[in-house]
Chain A
Amino acid sequence: MKTIVLKWLFLTISPCDAAEPWQLGSQDAATPIMQGIIDLHHDIFFFLILILVFVLWILVRALWHFHYKENAIPQRIVHGTTIEILRTIFPSLISMFIAIPSFALLYSMDEVVVDPAITIKAIGHQWYRTYEYSDYNSSDEQSLTFDSYMIPEEDLELGQSRLLEVDNRVVVPAKTHLRIIVTSADVPHSWAVPSSGVKCDAVPGRLNQISILVQREGVYYGQCSEICGTNHAFTPIVVEAVPRKDYGSRVSNQLIPQTGEA
């Protein structure tokens, strides 16, 4: 009983960084880009509701007042200069109000203001992911490479998410500029983490770069977003953002056994 109460208490105060059942809105933002996307969505939604209500009102009004039983003789209006001018100018203004924040966000996403501190390579395979952290090696052997497989349903522990958990997570330092290079070793995949506002195609023979800055510690879930075969639904992505000072020790701890083997 106590564990159930504690579990529900924890779940109600934790941020939404994974898909929830019956979820309507976006997951909570973990990067400035995602926050920008959510804000843009709010801006556009305002105009959307405005237009929706207006169009529905006109439609209902026309159906109500011009029913053939109420008005047997239909009117034959074909021109109306004022209304034509208004119904051209007004939508153009609305389009402009939508376009301004949209382009601002789009171009800000491409701006690289600060050099990234870390490069992580995310390589898609059928049907798992490989992550390479090669900033620290002194020879051509990778210093830190590991595979990330989904944990099958039989092996899940209480509290873990079905089809979302992996054995080895991508550990990144929070509040640090990262460069993630996404590619594939066989067929196209896509590396997506909704709470970070990231969806980047993994194309064989191509290196796609994305820059993110994860603003808070936490565990972020995502799923493969490009059909890649039978187990396309079973290759999730889990990013774990840890405090910067802990990142060093996490990577070194994993480095030691790696170089011991190599």
Chain B
Amino acid sequence: MEDEIELKTAPADFRFPTTNQTRHCFTRYIEFHRCTTAKGEDSSDCERFAKYYRALCPGEWVDKWNEQRETGTFPGPL
């Protein structure tokens, strides 16, 4: 690959200033899904939230939540 990888990631969120970022990851995931529900599945506005939750949340957590959403058992305010 010749193009430089741009170094960019989820910014520091003032709502979560402490060491514990569990809620930050969870909130970004929920924001993404609320955004897609409001604006449609392929909206590019929601891509930002997707990048944030993917950067913060471990893959296993995301997989588990995706499964929970499919079965309707997701414990968050989607």
Contact = CB atoms under 8 A, between A and B. Distances in A.
Interface of A: 110, 112, 115-119, 121, 123, 132, 134-137, 140-142, 145, 173, 176, 179, 181, 183, 185, 200, 205-210, 244-245, 247-249, 251-253, 255-256
Chain A to chain B: the 5 pairs with minimum beta-carbon distance, closest first: A252-B1, A117-B7, A119-B9, A115-B11, A119-B55
19 contacts: A117-B9, A119-B55, A119-B56, A135-B54, A135-B55, A137-B54, A145-B59, A179-B9, A179-B12, A181-B58, A200-B19, A207-B21, A247-B5, A248-B4, A249-B1, A252-B1, A252-B5, A255-B1, A256-B1
Contacts of B71: none
Given A132-B58, A135-B51, A140-B63, A205 B22 contact: yes
Contacts of A207: 20-22, 24-25, 56-58
Nearest to A137: B54
Contacts of B43: none
| Main SS at interface, chain A | mixed
Given A181-B58, A206-B22, A256-B1, 19 more contacts: A134-B54, A134-B55, A135-B9, A135-B51, A136-B5, A137-B54, A140-B62, A142-B59, A176-B7, A179-B12, A185-B60, A205-B22, A206-B20, A207-B20, A207-B25, A207-B56, A209-B20, A209-B21, A248-B4
B33 to A, nearest CB: 12
A122 to B, nearest CB: 10
Given A123-B58, A140-B63, A145-B59, A116 B9 contact: yes
B5 A251 contact: yes
B9 A132 contact: no
Contacts of B62: 140
B5 A248 contact: yes
B64 to A, nearest CB: 11
A110 B62 CA distance: 27
Given A173-B7, A181-B56, A140 B66 contact: yes
Contacts of B10: 119, 179
Nearest to B57: A207
A111 B65 CA distance: 31
A109 to B, nearest CB: 10
A140 B22 contact: no
Contact of A118 (B9, B19, B66): B9
Nearest to B55: A119
Contacts of B15: none
A149 B59 CA distance: 19
Contacts of B59: 132, 134, 140-142, 145
A208 B21 contact: yes
Contacts of A117: 7-9
B35 to A, nearest CB: 15
A115 B12 CA distance: 6
Query: Which of the listed residues A136, A206, A251 has the most CB atoms from chain B within 10 Å of its own CB?
Result: A136
